[in-house]
């Protein structure tokens, strides 16, 4: 032993500490990795030693290395060892390392359960604190389940330091173990009114976090939060609450109305920018939720916009950013009020700060109109050119596309301009958004029929200059554009000016360097192009020309046949065979063009992305049913139900067999037209035929089609989008003139006809007619599509599990294994009175409307009275400036008497319940235990079932699992009761302060009056004194820090200082209170006797068997023993009883013999050996104080005798 110690300290002398490690790393800049791996080897050696200080030092160094990116999961077990050190210094290091490196996948994490539980109940608040902090970082579902109850107990710890940590960690527990939310919620709510501001803030924090995810469950807390908001001065809490209201108002517009005034007051009064900003944000949320148009609300909007403008104009960039951020929220509902600040926002586009530019971009989205779209996009395009850094440029690109394509290209008046913008965008280098541009090109070309000719000419130019796009060495996303270009050229080849030229461009050898999926599209569209060329040539009678094209195909296609990409290869070889066949036919002078082009006859319509999903399942069709019983697995693949895809096939005429002769085609086309005419989703040409593309002479002057092939360096022949801006202006001007003329004429007519409702001659958006025939075909949806929009929800959302109705009373099955009184507390909490706003709010709304309609002209007072019947009284009646107190139900005098009798009835019930409780609950417990034991068997871990009765029952599981029911027990014993109040109490020792015990007294109001001014006076004895607030004398009562409305119970804690703990003692006390009801107030008293048993001075302290053995070996313990006969209870339950009532923990158990340990608040060790005989139990005890031991054994005897 001694040698070993020496060895340890020698080794320690040469250990590096953290400082040395850091210094070493600094000094080995050249070979850092090597140095660190050497250090890790050293650490591994250190971890093998028994000296905990060495281990802690090693773990400390590992934590540092973890920060540098080294995986330290291999040391998880050592970390646990350090966590379980008794010294705070080491424990802290261990928990820190654990919090940095443990996660749900760490397998040894299950070994920590007992250690953490032990630390949570540690007498030192910092041990507990460190454990809570650590746990908050690595809590797993198992840990959460097992420790939920322990943490919940800590929520009412005497130290605010622990309380606030316990409250915060509950959020993590809820996330991992959602079942705990309902049982724990009442206590969490209680903490909202905790005297300590830190705890209060923590509770607000947790509830806000919960409510953010599932706001509707927390609506009922609105009055409470409202009260906090008007009373709190802590900006942190205020911000959180105000943010929470922002999440709640969309669900309850009336709440918004109530909020607006206090919030605007805050906006005017506060000096804290953060608070001001959040207020503005929430006011915006309120305004969004309210139906707009009310005059007084437009004032609030103005206020918000004003304040935001001040923020945006501030020199502080942070405020500017936030101002823009909030502005974008207003934009959605009140675009007009934001649009007036367009100057400011455009100015922000030029800001040097990227974040601010991005926010300004967001705002632009809502600022565009038909009038200014071109101008704004032009500005953005100059930004694109200037922008350094691809991220911002990409952002600009997506924004341009977003702005232009928003609400079905609503603001685009000239699609030629848009196409040229898209083409210009393709010149961006290194953008990631090639596919986006491609998608837009396809979308526009398909949906705007009139633009196809122009689009095709642009795309063929793109294809021609493809080498520019694809040549850059890094394969950037821009070549995606070629995908669109190739498809458009192929599909609409009839519009091509020089199809032959384009065909050659698509067959260049360089194309094979493109990505596979683009090549595949090339191959496919080459054939389309080929088909249309053939047709042209044959119609023109140029048989030779046709053969030349075929020859070109035969020559060039083989390069694709060799492609490594399967898709390309397959398509190419298929087509090559086809072309070769055509060549043969051509040689025989057979006309082939008709048949070839029939391959691609028909037109494609855009289909909505969700269309397939929305095809309703026909009645009587069970998609899951087998059509044929599967013979084997491999065959089942082929047995797909064809019928489902039938409709789709029809919509893709591409796949139509080529035999379809023309007649058939014509017939089908006719049918489709018919169908389109009947289809409400199919939008026909715009109702302004006078503004057809062909009719606008301006556009024809654009030199778009002349493609200059001799200048390959610049993308040839592509028009600059800027030209369009001018042209567009001219066009509009002309249009306006025309219109004015017409209008004048009309006016003249009108004057004659004396009609006078013509519009004023202002140029509104609607007056600007699009240059092209905007034939935007909306995406097709299947007929009878189901109008569901549920596909947006993510089923994997972890917060979904927390969507739990908190107003529903707790069911038996949901309770955490917690002590009894809380259950009664929750079931009787006043929350029952608060209605489930969700359900009930709908009715009142309707009511209100009716009222308004009927009684608008009548007195408003009446309306108010009627509304007051509403249970949502708080929301509707109280005028905002004077927040009324919580709506305590005020019973009338008649009801009062009823209530009294009821209260008595309840009393009886309560007693009955007490007895009943033993019977129904154990079953569930047992059930639960069984389950746990089963899982435990699987995992072979030493996890404990939750529940404080078994808190230290770890070794019990070593024995055979006895599945016998354990009666649930409460450590709270009845203190005194009368018709007003029932007092139960629990006495807990605490090691934090020497010789102090905490008495938790639960007061339950069982009358119908409000209990106020409660005071507790206790007669101190020589040995035991109550800790009183400073300055109060021994004879003064100590006030109870709360009032009790009818039916509510609450817990108060008092600390007593005990001199000698070797004997039990009793203290006399009186509870005085004022019971107030409608009839008046009466002073009442209730006497009680506090019984401090010796067991209550003991604290459950786990002990390891080796330490236990050492303790016994030391031999300075006195001994005593008892024996109790006539016991039929199982040994396991017996141990559980001793653990629970006398605060012992089981050290070890072998068959029907167990050793147990506990410690007193003054540090006495108490050891027990419990043996079970046939019908008897013998308990041998050893303790450092003989009187304490004998008294303890006496108490134990009394407990055992009841078994």
Partner 1 sequence: MIQAILVFNNHGKPRLVRFYQRFPEEIQQQIVRETFHLVLKRDDNICNFLEGGSLIGGSDYKLIYRHYATLYFVFCVDSSESELGILDLIQVFVETLDKCFENVCELDLIFHMDKLLLLNSPLSSLETVVSSLHGGEGSVTRVKDLYCCRSQRTESCTGKEVHYILQEVVMGGMVLETNMNEIVAQIEAQNRLEKSEGGLSAAPARAVSAVKNINLPEIPRNINIGDLNIKVPNLSQFV
Structure tokens, 992: 């934090």
* Residue 532 per-residue DSSP state: H
- Select 344 or 1010, whichever has its Cβ closest to partner 1: 344
Alpha carbons 816 and 150: distance in angstroms, whole number = 11
Residues 6+ apart with CB under 8 A from 313: 320, 344
Residues 935-994 that bind partner 1 (CB under 8 A): none
| CB nearer to partner 1: pick between 248 and 1048 | 248
CB of 133 to partner 1, least distance (A): 5
Residue 1156 forms beta bridges with which residues? 1146, 1168
Does 14 participate in binding partner 1 (rule CB under 8 A)?
A: yes
Q: What is the 3-state secondary structure (H, E, C) of 963-1002?
A: CCCCCCCCCCEEEEECCCEEEEEEEEEECCCCCEEEEEEE
Residue 1131 CA to residue 298 CA, distance in Å, equals 75
Going residue by residue from 201 to 220, which x/- string records binding to partner 1, judged by CB under 8 A? xx--xx-xx--x--------
1109 binds partner 1 (CB under 8 A): yes
Of residues 92 and 656, the one with the C-beta less far from partner 1? 92
As a whole number of angstroms, the distance between CA 706 and CA 718 comes to 9
Residue in 40, 58, 80, 90 binding partner 1, rule: CB under 8 A: 90
Assign 793 to helix, strand or coil: coil
104 binds partner 1 (CB under 8 A): yes
Which DSSP state fits 991? S
Contact 356, 710 (CB under 8 A): no
Residue 1150's beta-bridge partner residues? 1153
The per-residue DSSP string of 79-112 comes to HHHHHT-SSHHHHHHHHHHHHHH--TT-GGGGGH
Q: Does 169 interact with partner 1 (rule: CB under 8 A)?
A: yes
* Nearer Cβ to partner 1 (540/1109): 1109
CB-CB contact of 967 with 918 (8 Å):
yes
Tell me how far, at minimum, the Cβ of 52 lies from partner 1, in Å.
11
* Alpha-carbon span 133 to 732, nearest angstrom: 67
Closest to 367 (Cα-Cα) out of 341, 329, 397: 341
Q: Least CB distance from residue 1062 to partner 1, whole Å?
A: 22
Tokens found for residue 845: 């709304």
* Span from 6-14, 374-382, 723-731, 1189-1197 in contact with partner 1 (CB under 8 A): 6-14
| 13 contacts partner 1 (rule: CB under 8 A) | yes
Backbone angles phi, psi at 363, to 5 degrees: -70, -35
Binding positions for partner 1, 1180-1199, rule CB under 8 A: 1180, 1182
23 belongs to the binding site for partner 1 (CB under 8 A):
yes
**Which strands, in side-by-side order, build the sheet including 981-990?**
973-977, 981-990, 996-1005, 1049-1058, 1024-1026
Q: Does 168 bind partner 1 (CB under 8 A)?
A: yes
Minimum CB distance to partner 1, residue 318 (Å): 5
Nearer to partner 1, 37 or 904 (CB): 37
Chain positions 696 to 725 lying near partner 1, rule: CB under 8 A, are none
Q: Looking at residues 30 to 89 of the shown chain, list those that interact with partner 1 (rule: CB under 8 A).
A: 42, 45, 53, 56-57, 60, 63-64, 66-71, 87-89
Q: How far is the CB of 803 from partner 1 (least distance, A)?
A: 17
For partner 1, which stretch binds (CB under 8 A), given 198-206, 258-266, 625-633, 640-648? Answer: 198-206
Alpha-carbon distance 838 to 216, whole Å? 7
Residue 126 or 681 having the CB closest to partner 1:
126
Question: Phi/psi of residue 776, each to 5°?
Answer: -80, 110
Q: Minimum distance between the CB of residue 17 and partner 1, rounded to whole angstroms?
A: 6
For residue 600, the SS3 value is coil
Task: Scan for tokens 């209730």, then name that residue.
Answer: 1086
Q: At its nearest, how many Å lie between partner 1 and the CB of residue 915? A: 39
Rounded CA-CA distance 229/632 in Å is: 67
Rounded Cα distance, 772 and 413, in Å: 7
Span 268-307, contacts to partner 1 by CB under 8 A: 273-274, 277-278
Q: How far apart are CA 203 and CA 607, in angstroms?
A: 50
> Shortest approach of partner 1 to residue 1105 CB, angstroms?
6
Shorter beta-carbon distance to partner 1: residue 197 or 591: 197
What is the smallest separation between the CB atom of 171 and partner 1, expressed in angstroms? Answer: 7
Among 322, 423, 503, 987, contact with partner 1 (rule: CB under 8 A): 322
- Identify the residue among 910, 1108, 1152, 1197 touching partner 1 (CB under 8 A): 1108
Contacts with partner 1 by CB under 8 A: the residue count is 104
For residue 179, the minimal CB distance to partner 1 (Å) is 20
Out of 1148, 1152, 1197, 1203, the only residue in the binding site for partner 1 (CB under 8 A) is 1148
x/- string (CB under 8 A) for partner 1, residues 345-364? -------xxxxx-x------
Regarding 19 and contact with partner 1 (CB under 8 A), the answer is yes
Residues 778-837 touching partner 1, rule: CB under 8 A, are: none
- CA gyration radius for the chain? 41
**CA 146, CA 152: separation in Å to the nearest integer?**
11
Residues with Cβ within 8 Å of 897's Cβ and at least 6 positions away in sequence, in order, are none
Contact set for partner 1, span 729-748 (CB under 8 A): none
Encoded one letter per residue, x for contact with partner 1 by CB under 8 A and - for no contact, window 223-252 reads ------------xx--x---x---------
- Residue nearer to partner 1 on the CB measure, 129 or 653: 129
> Is 318 one of the binding residues for partner 1 (CB under 8 A)?
yes
Least Å distance, CB 1066 to partner 1, is: 33
Q: Which of residues 419-458 bind partner 1 (CB under 8 A)?
A: none
Short-list 446, 440, 407, 447, CA closest to 426: 440
Contact residue for partner 1 among 37, 124, 973, 1175 (CB under 8 A): 124
- Which one of 168-176, 561-569, 630-638, 696-704 is the stretch in contact with partner 1 (CB under 8 A)? 168-176
Phi, psi at 818, each rounded to 5°: -120, 170
Three-class secondary structure assignment of 163-198: HHHHHHHHHHHHHHCHHHHHHHHHHHHHHHHCCCHH
The correct pick among 75, 76, 96, 999 for binding partner 1 (CB under 8 A) is 96
Going by the DSSP 8-state scheme, the letter that residue 994 receives in this structure is: T
Q: Which residue do the tokens 């070593």 mark?
A: 958
Cβ neighbours of residue 397 closer than 8 Å, sequence gap 6 or more: 384, 425, 428, 431, 433, 436, 437
Q: Which residues contact 1045 (CB under 8 A, 6 or more apart)?
A: 830, 888, 1005, 1010
Binds partner 1 by CB under 8 A, chosen from 118, 165, 393, 943:
165
Q: Under the criterion CB under 8 A, does residue 136 sit at the interface with partner 1?
A: yes
The answer to whether 12 contacts partner 1 (rule: CB under 8 A) is: yes
> Is residue 411 within the footprint of partner 1 (CB under 8 A)?
no
Q: In the block, which residue shows the tokens 């075929």?
A: 550
Q: Does 1155 bind partner 1 (CB under 8 A)?
A: yes
Among 225, 321, 415, 1144, the residue binding partner 1 under the rule CB under 8 A is: 321
Residue number, 590 or 1109, with CB nearest to partner 1: 1109
Nearest approach, Cβ of 13 to partner 1 (angstroms)? Answer: 5
**The binder of partner 1 chosen from 16, 651, 900, 925 (CB under 8 A):** 16
Closest by Cα among 298, 363, 375 to 327: 363
Closer Cβ to partner 1, 64 or 1042, answer by number: 64
Which of the ranges 160-168, 253-261, 549-557, 708-716 carries the binding residues for partner 1, by CB under 8 A? 160-168
The two three-digit tokens of residue 1138, written as one number: 């001793």
- C-alpha 33: how far from its chain's center? 39
Q: According to the binding rule CB under 8 A, does residue 137 interact with partner 1?
A: yes
């Amino acid at each position: 032993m001694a040698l070993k110690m020496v060895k340890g300290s020698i080794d320690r002398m040469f250990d590096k500490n953290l400082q040395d490690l850091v210094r070493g790393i600094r000094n080995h800049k050249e070979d850092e990795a090597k140095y660190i791996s050497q250090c890790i080897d050293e650490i591994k050696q250190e971890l093998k030693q028994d000296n905990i200080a060495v281990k802690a030092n090693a773990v400390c160094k590992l934590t540092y290395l973890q920060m540098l990116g080294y995986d330290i999961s291999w040391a998880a077990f050592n970390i646990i060892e350090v966590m379980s050190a008794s010294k705070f210094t080491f424990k802290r290091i261990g928990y820190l390392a654990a919090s940095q490196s443990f996660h749900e996948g760490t397998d040894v994490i299950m070994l920590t359960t007992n250690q953490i539980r032990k630390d949570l109940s540690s007498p030192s608040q910092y041990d507990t604190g460190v454990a809570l902090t650590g746990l908050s970082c690595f809590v797993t579902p198992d840990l959460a389940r097992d420790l939920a109850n322990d943490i919940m107990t800590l929520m009412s710890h005497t130290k605010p330091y622990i309380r606030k940590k316990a409250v915060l960690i509950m959020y993590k527990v809820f996330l991992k173990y959602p079942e705990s939310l309902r049982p724990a919620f009442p206590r969490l709510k209680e903490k909202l009114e905790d005297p300590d501001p830190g705890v209060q803030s923590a509770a607000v924090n947790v509830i806000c976090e919960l409510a953010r995810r599932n706001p509707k469950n927390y609506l009922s807390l609105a009055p409470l939060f409202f009260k906090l908001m008007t009373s709190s001065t802590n900006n942190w809490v205020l911000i959180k609450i105000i943010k929470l209201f922002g999440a709640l108002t969309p669900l309850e517009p009336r709440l918004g109305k109530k909020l607006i005034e206090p919030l605007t007051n805050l906006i005017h009064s506060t000096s804290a920018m953060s608070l001001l900003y959040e207020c503005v944000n929430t006011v915006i949320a309120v305004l969004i939720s309210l139906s707009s148009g009310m005059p007084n609300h437009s004032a609030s909007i103005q206020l918000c916009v004003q304040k935001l403008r001040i923020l945006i104009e501030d020199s502080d960039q942070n405020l500017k950013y936030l101002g823009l951020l909030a502005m974008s929220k207003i934009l959605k509902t009140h675009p007009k009020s934001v649009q007036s600040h367009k100057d400011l926002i455009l100015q922000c586009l030029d800001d040097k700060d990227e974040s601010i530019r991005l926010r300004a971009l967001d705002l632009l989205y809502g600022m565009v109109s038909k009038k200014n779209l071109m101008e704004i996009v032009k500005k953005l395009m100059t930004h694109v050119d200037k922008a350094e850094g691809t991220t911002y440029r990409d952002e600009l690109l997506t924004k341009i596309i977003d702005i232009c394509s928003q609400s079905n290209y609503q603001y685009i008046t000239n699609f030629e301009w848009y196409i040229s913008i898209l083409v210009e965008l393709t010149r961006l280098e290194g953008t990631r958004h090639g596919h986006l541009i491609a998608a837009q090109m396809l979308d526009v070309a398909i949906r705007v029929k009139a633009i196809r000719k122009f689009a095709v000419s642009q795309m063929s130019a793109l294809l021609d200059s493809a080498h520019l796009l694809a040549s850059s060495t890094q394969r950037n996303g821009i070549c995606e554009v070629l995908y669109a270009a190739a498809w458009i050229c192929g599909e609409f080849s009839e519009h091509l000016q020089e199809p032959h030229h384009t065909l050659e461009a698509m067959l260049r050898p360089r194309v094979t360097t493109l990505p596979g999926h683009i090549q595949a599209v090339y191959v496919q569209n080459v054939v389309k192009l080929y088909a249309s060329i053939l047709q042209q040539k044959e119609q023109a009678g140029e048989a030779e020309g046709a053969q030349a094209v075929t020859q070109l195909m035969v020559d060039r296609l083989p390069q694709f046949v060799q492609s490594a990409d399967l898709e390309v290869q397959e398509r190419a070889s298929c087509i090559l065979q086809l072309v070769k066949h055509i060549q043969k036919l051509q040689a025989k002078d057979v006309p082939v063009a008709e048949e070839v082009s029939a391959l691609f006859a028909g037109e494609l319509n855009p289909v909505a992305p969700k269309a397939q999903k929305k095809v309703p399942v026909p009645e009587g069709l069970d998609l899951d049913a087998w059509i044929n019983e599967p013979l084997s697995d491999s065959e089942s693949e082929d047995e797909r139900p064809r019928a489902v895809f039938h409709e789709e096939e029809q919509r893709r005429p591409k796949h139509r067999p080529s035999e379809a002769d023309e007649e058939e085609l014509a017939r089908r086309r006719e049918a489709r037209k018919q169908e389109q005419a009947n289809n409400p989703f199919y939008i026909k040409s715009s109702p302004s035929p006078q503004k057809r593309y062909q009719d606008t002479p301006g556009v024809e002057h654009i030199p778009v089609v002349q493609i200059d092939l001799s200048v390959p360096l610049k993308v040839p022949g592509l028009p600059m989008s800027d030209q369009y801006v001018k042209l567009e202006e001219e066009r509009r001007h002309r249009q306006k003139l025309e219109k004015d003329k017409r209008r004048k004429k009309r006016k003249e007519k009108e004057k004659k006809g004396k009609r006078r409702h013509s519009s004023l001659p202002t140029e509104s958006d609607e007056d600007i007619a699009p240059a092209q025939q905007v034939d935007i075909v909306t995406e097709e949806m299947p007929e009878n599509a189901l109008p569901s929009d549920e596909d947006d929800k993510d089923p994997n959302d972890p917060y979904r599990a927390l969507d739990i109705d908190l107003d529903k009373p707790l069911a038996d099955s949901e309770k955490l294994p917690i002590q009894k009184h809380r259950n009664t507390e929750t079931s009787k909490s006043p929350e029952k009175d608060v209605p489930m706003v969700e359900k009930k709010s709908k009715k009142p709304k309707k009511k209100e409307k009716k009222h308004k309609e009927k009684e608008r002209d009548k007195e408003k007072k009446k309306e108010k009275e009627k509304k007051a019947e509403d249970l949502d009284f708080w929301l509707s009646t109280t005028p905002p400036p004077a927040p009324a107190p919580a709506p305590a139900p005020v019973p009338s005098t008649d009801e009062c008497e009823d209530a009294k009798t009821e209260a008595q009835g309840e009393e009886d019930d309560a007693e009955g319940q007490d007895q009943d409780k033993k019977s129904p609950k154990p079953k569930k417990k047992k059930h639960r235990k069984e389950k746990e034991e089963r899982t435990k068997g699987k995992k072979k871990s030493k996890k404990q079932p939750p529940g404080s009765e078994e808190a230290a029952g770890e070794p019990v599981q070593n024995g055979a699992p006895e599945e016998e029911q354990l009666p649930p027990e409460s450590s709270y014993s009845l203190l005194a009761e009368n018709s007003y109040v029932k007092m139960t109490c629990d006495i807990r020792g605490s090691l934090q302060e020497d010789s102090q015990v905490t008495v938790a007294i639960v007061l339950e109001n069982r009358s119908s009056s409000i209990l106020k001014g409660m005071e507790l006076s206790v007669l101190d004895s020589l040995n035991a004194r109550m800790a009183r607030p400073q300055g109060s004398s021994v004879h003064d009562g100590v006030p109870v820090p709360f009032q009790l409305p009818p039916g509510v119970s609450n817990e108060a804690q008092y600390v007593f200082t005990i001199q000698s703990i070797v004997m039990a003692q009793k203290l006399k006390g009186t509870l005085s209170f004022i019971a107030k009801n409608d009839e008046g107030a009466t002073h009442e008293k209730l006497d009680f006797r506090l019984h401090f048993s010796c067991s209550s001075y003991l604290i459950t302290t786990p002990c390891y068997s080796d330490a236990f053995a050492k303790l016994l070996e030391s031999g300075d313990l006195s001994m005593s023993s008892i024996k109790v006969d006539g016991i039929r209870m199982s040994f396991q339950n017996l141990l559980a009883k001793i653990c629970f009532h006398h605060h012992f923990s089981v050290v070890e158990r072998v068959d029907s013999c167990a050793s147990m340990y506990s410690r007193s608040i003054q540090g006495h060790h108490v050891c027990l050996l419990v043996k079970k005989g046939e019908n008897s139990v013998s308990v041998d005890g050893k303790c450092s104080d003989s009187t304490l031991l004998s008294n303890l054994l006496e108490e134990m005897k009394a407990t055992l005798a009841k078994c």
